[in-house]
Structure 1
C-alpha cells in the first residue's frame, strides 16, 4: 500500500471516528433529556378512559403465555384484549383459549381474520380486528411483548395535557400516539445476545438522539402503539399501511404528519428474543436495516458514521499504529462503553448490558457490516417468505416482475 493510500485511510478513519463520537455525545444528551421527564405521576383511576388492546398473532414466541398474562393483570379500571389470527388452527389459538379460562372476568376475545388484504399480514389482521374494538383509545403491541403491572396507566399518562409540547402563545398539538422503548431478553446463543445488546445500546441510543435532535419523535415503535381513533381516522385507518414492512414507523410518521404529537412514554417493556444463530441474527438485522433504509433514506445514510470502533481501527491501520491513532481508538472504545451504560442501564435498566458488555466491539463491527449489506439488495426474509422492498412496501417477486405495486 502506498504512502498516499495509507494517509487516505487514516484520514477517512479519523473522520468516521470523530463523526461517531460526536453522535455519541448527542445520544447521551438525548438520554439525559429523556431521563429529566422522570416517572410521571400515574393518572387517577377515575380519569382513565376505557381502551382496547389489539394483539395480532402468527405462531408462537418464547414465553408467549406469560407475556399474554401480563396484559390481563393490569392496574387499569376498564379494558379489553382482542387477539387476531388469520388461521383458526394457528398454534397461538390454544394459548388464547387457556388465557380465557384463567381470566374469566377479563374481556378477552379471539378474532379469526380470514381475508388477506395485503402483504403485511399483521396490518391485514388489524384492519379486521378494529371493528371488534369497543373503545376510542386503542393499544397495539407485538405478540412477544411482556409488560409491567402499571403499563397501561403509564402509557395513557402520555396523553395528559402536560405532555404536550409548544412554547408560550403557540397552539399545542393534540397527542395522537404514545409509544415506548423496550428491552430484548436474550437466549443463550451468540446471535440472541448480539441482538439484545444492539436493541439496548445501539437502536434506542439512536431513538433518543433523534428525539433530542428533532425536538420530539415523528415515528413509533412496534413495542407499543397507543392512539386514538380520531388520529387513526385522520390518516385513513390501517388500510394505507397494509403493504408496508415498517408499519409501526409509518403509523407514527403519518400521525405526526397529520398534525398530531407523538409522545415517548417512560414505561419500558420486554420482548423475549428467539435463540438466533449467527446467520439468523444477520438475516433479521438485514431485514430491519433494509426496512429502515426505505423508511428514512437520508437518516439511514448517516448511520454508517455512527460506528466509532471500526473507523478507529481503520485509522490505526492507515496511520501505521501512530500514537494518535491508538489514542483515538481508546477514546472511541471508552465513549462507546459510556453510551451503552448511559442508555442501556441508565434509561432502560437492562442488566444484560453489563453482562454482555464484552461483546460490544463485535456488535459494532456487525452493525457496520449490516449497514453496508443494507445497500446490496432489496430482498428481505419475513416470517419464512421472501419479499422485495420497493419504496418501503413489501412485494412478492412475481408482483415486481409484472410491475405490481
Structure 2
C-alpha cells in the first residue's frame, strides 16, 4: 500500500505529464487552425468588382508610404503602389527631408505614371513623439484627401489587386454578408522573400513564412484579441481621430464618442510599435474588429547576416514583452523544440513511448505543416532546388528561438533606425544613451547603424 509521501510525487508527475501533453494538443490545434485558414484564405485570390468600377462609385483611399533612404527592391516596391487596380486613390511618399536618397526613385516613378495622383510629403513641423516613422507620416496624414488610409512600408511590394480586395472588407458592399462588428483594420500577412540568400535572410524567410505566419493567421482566425503587424494596414482616419492608445474603452463609442486629450496618429508617436498599438486602440477603445484579405505583404529582405537576424528578433521580443508580458513569457512553450521535449517527456511517463520514436515524428510533422503554410502564402511549394536550404534555415531558426528569447527577456533597450530606445512598461519608449548597451548588445551586434538590415539598392540611371 502506497504511503502519502510516495503518492504525492506520483500525482505531481502525473499532473505535469498530463499538462504537457494537453498543452501540446492545444498547440497543434492552433497550428492546424493556422494551416487550414491559410489554405482557405490565400490559395484563391479572386478579382474584386471594385477594380473596374467607376471612380465615383468607390470610396477614395489615401496611400501613405514612409521612406527613409534606399532599401532592397525599392523601385519595384513603390511601383506596385502605382499599378493598383483601383479607380480612386492618391499616394503620399513621406520623407524627413529634401535630400532623402529615395526621392530620385520616387520622382522617376511619378514621371512614369504621371496619370496617378502622387505627391511627395516632406516632414514639416516639430516631432509629435519619439517614433521616427510616425513623425515621417504626419504630413501625409494631415493632408490626406480621403478618410480611408493605407499605410504601407517602403520594403513591401503588393499585388495589383490588393487595395480593391482590402476595401471590399473594410467597406462591405450592400449585398455582402455584414460582420457582427464593424471592421476597423484590414491588414496583410508579411511574406518574406530574399534577393540574396545569406544565412540571416534565409532564416528570416523561414521564420516569417512558416511559424510566424501560421500563428499570426491562427490568432486572427480565432480573433480573441488584436494581433496586427503593420507593414500593410488599412483603417479610417475618422476612427483613428477618436482614440489615443490608452486601450480604455470609450463608453459612448457607438454614438461617436472619443477619448479626451490628444488623439489621432500623433498620439501614437510615443510607441515604437505604433502599428500594433493603433490596431489595439481601434479594437479596445472603439470595439472594432480586424480582418485580413487574401493578399500578402511581400517583404523584400536584403543581405541579412545571422547576427542581423538575431538583433532584429531580440528587438521585437523586447518591445512585445513590454506590451503583452504574459504572452511573451510563455513564448518558448509554443516553439517546436521546447514543446516537443515537454510532450515527449509526458508521453514517456504516461504511455512509455520512447523519446527516440516521438521526437523525429514530431519535428517532421511540424515541418510539414509549416511548409504547407508557406505554399499557401507563396502560391507554390518551396522550389525543389532550394528545399534543403530552406529546411536547414528552418531548423536553425528553431534552435535559435530559445537563446534569442532569453537574451531579449533580460533587457529593455532596443535600437531602431540608428537610435537607441528604452521600452517602458506600457509599450511607450524613450530615447536611451549608447553607453548602456550591455553585454548582449556588444556580443550580438545590437547597436549597428543599419538597424533594419536591408541591403541598399543601387541608384537607377
Q: Which category of TM-score, normalised to the shorter sequence, fits these structures?
A: 0.7 to 0.9
Secondary structure of 1:279's aligned partner: helix
Bigger drift between 60-69 and 153-162 goes to: 153-162
Residue equivalent to 1:387? 421
After superposition, residues 96-115 of structure 1 pair within 5 angstroms as 96-114=106-124, 115=126
Q: Distance in 1 between matches of 2:190 and 2:380?
A: 9
User: Is 1:209 the equivalent of 2:218?
Assistant: yes
Matched, 1:369 2:396: no
1:222-273 CA-partner distances (Å, limit 9, x unpaired): 2211111221112121112102111111111111111212111111121111
Paired with 2:134 and 2:77, the residues of 1 have a C-alpha distance of 21
The separation in 2 between residues aligned to 1:261 and 1:25, in whole angstroms, is 23
Q: How far apart are the structure 2 equivalents of 1:145 and 1:14? A: 44
4+ aligned runs moved over 6 Å, structure 1: 11-15, 314-319
* Partners of 2:37 and 2:218 within 8 A in 1: no
Shift in Å, 1:342: 2.8
- Separation in structure 2 between the aligned mates of residue 352 and residue 183 of structure 1, nearest angstrom: 13
2:189/2:297 contact within 8 Å kept:
yes
2:209 aligns with one of 200, 205, 212: 200
- Tell whether 2:148 aligns with 1:137: yes
Q: Secondary structure at the match of 1:158?
A: helix
Match of 1:218 in 2: 226
Structure 2 unaligned blocks of 5 or more: 1-11, 244-262, 437-461
Give the conservation status (yes or no) of the 8 Å contact 2:20–2:342. Answer: no
Query: For this pair of structures, how many residues does the alignment match?
Result: 385
Residues 293-302 or 234-243, more deviating? 293-302
CA distance in 2 between counterparts of 1:146 and 1:14 reads: 46
2:179 match: 165
CA shift for structure 1 position 360 = 2.1
Supply the RMSD in Å over aligned alpha carbons.
Answer: 3.0
Match of 2:276 in 1: 249
Q: Cα deviations across residues 312-343 of structure 1 (Å, max 9, x unaligned)?
A: 45888998xx9611122123202311221232
Greater RCO structure (CA 8 Å; 6+ sep): 1
Structure 1 residue 352 displacement after superposition? 4.6
Change (3 A) 1:307 1:12: farther
Q: Is the 8 A contact 2:191 2:299 kept in 1?
A: yes
Alignment partner, residue 189 of structure 1: 198
Q: Cα distance, 1:370 vs. partner?
A: 1.8
1:228 to 208, 211, 236: 236
User: Alpha-carbon deviation of 1:144?
Assistant: 0.6
Give the TM-score taking structure 1 as reference length.
Answer: 0.86
Q: Distance in 2 between matches of 1:314 and 1:226?
A: 40
Structure 1 or 2, whichever has the larger Rg, is: 2
Q: Measure the CA separation in 2 of the matches of 1:280 and 1:242.
A: 26
Structure 1, unaligned runs of 5 or more: 1-7, 167-172
